[in-house]
Amino acid sequence: MAKLDIYDPKWVDMVFANKNKSYGAYQLRMGTSGRNMKAIIILLVAALLTGGYLVYKIKAQQAEEERLAYMEAQELAKLREQAKKKEDQPKIPPKVEPKKEIPEVRESQKFTAPVIKKDELVKEENVVKQMDKLDENVAVSTKDQEGVKDRTVEAVRNDIAVNTEPKQEVKQEVATKVFDAVEQMPSFPGGQGALLSFLSSNVKYPAVAEQNNIQGKAVVGFIVEPNGGVTGVHIMRSAGDPSLDAEAMRVVGSMPRWNPGKQNGQAVRVKYQVPITFRLQ
């Protein structure tokens, strides 16, 4: 038995033979094949456009993530190279002060200008020596002093030179600067798995978003301080709903202290971001 196509124009003509073909049913039946073909073409074009758009968005997102990862890797490599150059630079030895040499005390003999007084008023130590009894190799002074006669002799008063290294004070600029990437990035206590567990167990789905079947993913940025505290919590990419964004900021702000990031062995302020996905089961 041949296949019967009720939409074939010949079959339509047979059905409406000797009937009023000006009636609307005949015209509708004759145009059915054309309408079906148009509908199929429209569906195919719509599917192609939708699929192409989705592929484009996925590719664009992957390219953006790869670009960010590449930039972060480049920044880390640059920081490591700078740190290596600093380590390779020759260390300047601490400045050692030279020994201070001062003349040793010289021997001197007392000789003052004579003053005429009565003999009973003159003390024995104040009796002026006669000029011919002065030692010509000893300097003259206002009192007798034991010491060396050779004026060219110098003695070392202090043989110990104090070696003091200057204290390396933390520059205010480094203490307040916020780094995008450092040699040792901040980490959540327990690692990435502990971070995901904390976020999933502490996120509370907003009732308004749940009632309206709203889903999305928010990217939250913040700063890990040198003491591990989390500050500067803000939305970098919205989830598409204010209530979801507010909940993402709340749970990030409630995180415990992190292990701080370090640059050259010193804890510094570092930017960080975490994605939080809101999905209804």
The position carrying tokens 């292990």 is: 259
pLDDT, tens digit (0-9, with 9 covering 90-100), for 244-280: 999 999 999 999 999 999 999 999 999 999 999 998 8
Q: Does residue 224 contact residue 255 with C-beta atoms inside 8 Å?
A: no
Regions of the chain where pLDDT drops below 70? 1-14, 16-24, 26-30, 69, 72-73, 75-77, 79-80, 82-84, 86-91, 99-174
Identify the helix (H) or strand (E) that includes residue 217: strand 216-224
At residue 59, the pLDDT reads: 87
Residues ≥6 apart with Cβ < 8 Å to 201: none
Write phi, then psi, for 223 (nearest 5 degrees).
-120, 130
Closest C-alpha to 174, from 76, 272, 265: 265
**CA pseudo-torsion sign 242, 247, 250, 252:** negative
Q: What's the per-residue H, E or C state across 32-70?
A: HHHHHHHHHHHHHHHHHHHHHHHHHHHHHHHHHHHHHHH
- How is residue 43 written in tokens? 């569906």
**Is CATH 3.30.2420.10 what the domain over 169-278 is classified as, yes or no?**
yes
- pTM here is 0.42
User: Beta-carbon neighbour count of residue 272 at 10 Å?
Assistant: 19
Q: Does residue 223 contact residue 230 with C-beta atoms inside 8 Å?
A: yes
DSSP string, 109-175: EE--------GGG--GGGPPPPGGGS-TTSEEESS-B--BS-TT-EEES--PPP--PPP-PPPHHHH
Q: Which residues pair with 217 in a beta bridge?
A: 277
Burial 199-234 (b: 16+ CB within 10 A, else e): beeebebbeebeeeebebebebbbbbbeebebeebe
Domain ranges of the chain: 101-156, 169-278
pLDDT, tens digit (0-9, with 9 covering 90-100), for 65-91: 777 767 766 766 676 676 667 666 666
- CA 206/CA 203 separation, integer angstroms: 9
At residue 38, the pLDDT reads: 86
